Amino acid sequence: MFTGIITDVGTIAELEQQGDLRARIRTGYDTATIDIGASIASDGVCLTVIALGDDWYDVQVSAETVSKTNLGAWTVGKRVNLERALKVGDELGGHIVSGHVDGVAEVVAMTDEGDSTRVTLRAPQALARFIAPKGSVALNGTSLTVNDVDGCDFGINFIPHTKEVTTWGDVKAGDQINLEIDTLARYVARLHDAG
């Protein structure tokens, strides 16, 4: 489990297709505190650490994960949002995030509003019903509050701090973004459909 509060921005150092995709991610984390088998959310996708170095870790990404996320578009040098798994007693600053991406949203518009940036995204039709104004979503692993919803489109406001400490300062229209809907919204919809 994660909170959607990004704690490092890593860089893709190597990519190798070996049946599955293997990625080396450079990080500012103290890798001496990371265990083989640990889960680290990388752009919102829960990935398992399979090797470690002084300032990097390797993950293996299954074909299933590549097909459901934006990780297939990773390139060497790309910056990625990172979050280590939640530990009992950690502050829960965002919302409960599983790291299991539900689909990919597209950035359709960006508008500066004061010092902040309003980003409009388009969710896949099947996921749009789970997104509500003032609800939570995780986008590329970042816990965010939805400002408004219009059909499949929804708006998020990014303050300067968020753009500085995550990869959101790099985003542009047309980008594909990993979308994880709020767990509570998923269960409320399931109960509604069963009722």
- Ordered by where they begin, the domains of the chain are 8-84 (2.40.30.20), 103-194 (2.40.30.20)
Q: Which residues pair with 20 in a beta bridge?
A: 18
Nearest to 98 by CA among 49, 134, 141, 135: 141
Residue 116's pLDDT is 95
Q: What is the pTM of this model?
A: 0.92
Residue 79's pLDDT is 98
| Average pLDDT across the chain, whole number | 93
Handedness of CA 159, 11, 97, 148 (dihedral sign): positive
Nearest to 120 by CA among 109, 135, 130: 109
156: pLDDT confidence band, cut at 50, 70 and 90?
very high
What is the average pLDDT across 33-53?
A: 97
